[in-house]
Amino acid sequence: MRKDIQDQVIRHQKNNNISVIISKKSQFKGNLVSIWTKKNNEIIVTNSYYKDRISQTYFIDTNKFITEYYILSKYTKWLNKLLQNNSIYIKMKDMECYFQPFGYSLKCEIIKNGLNFSSNIENINKFKELKTILSHVKNIIKRIDTSGATTITVLNEIAYQVEIGYAPIYHIEYDKLIELDRRMSDHSE
C-alpha cells in the first residue's frame, strides 16, 4: 500500500476509534473477511462473497447482535425500461428490496440477543434463501409491465410516492405486492 494511503487509513482508524484485527483476508475464492473493534465496545465482522456482503456486529454493553445481509444485482435492461427514472422500495418484515433503473438490491437485518457470529457455510445458505425471496419479488415486479396498464398507473394503485431528488420512489408494503401478483395472475388466466 502506498505510504500516503496507509497514513490516511491509520488516521481514519484513530479518528473513529477503530482497531483492526484482520483486514481483507481471503479464506477462499470470492471471499474477503475483515474483523475490527470499536472503542465503544463493538466487535464487527464483515464478509463478502463476490458481490454479496454480510456485516455482523456485536454490541458488548447491550448484549445485542445485529446481522445485516446485502445482495446487489447488476444492471438489467428490462428494469431500466420498466422503471425509467422511478424507483421501487419494498418493505418486508426484516427485509427491504430496492429496485432502481440501474439494478436492484436486498437488505436483511436480523437482531438477536447474545453473541451469535455465523460461519461461511451458514452465511452462504442464508444468501441462497434470501436470493430465492429476491427472485420471487423481482418476478412480480417484472410482470407489472405485462398487466396491460402502465407501470406508473399500477404503482400508484398499490404504493405511496416519495419525492427525493429528481425521481420519485414508490414505497410498497410486501402484502400489497402479493395482492397485485394475485390480481395479475387472475387476469392472465
pLDDT digits (tens, 9 = 90+) for 138-149: 888 887 754 455
Antiparallel, parallel or unpaired: β 95-100 and 42-49: unpaired
Q: Check residues 11 and 101 and name the one with the higher pLDDT.
A: 101
pTM: 0.77
Residue in 138, 23, 30 with CA at minimum distance from that of residue 83: 138
Burial zone of 43 (CB within 10 Å; 0-12 exposed, 13-18 middle, 19+ buried): middle
Q: How many CA atoms lie within 13 A of 162 on its CB side?
A: 9
Domain count within the chain:
1
Residues 157-181: pLDDT tens digits?
677 667 666 667 878 888 878 887 7
Structural domain of 100:
3-188
DSSP state of 111: E
Average pLDDT, the chain: 79
Antiparallel, parallel or unpaired: β 64-72 and 103-113: antiparallel
Percent over 90 (pLDDT), the chain:
20
DSSP state of 133: H
Burial pattern 71-83, b for ≥16 Cβ within 10 A else e, equals: bebeebeebeebb
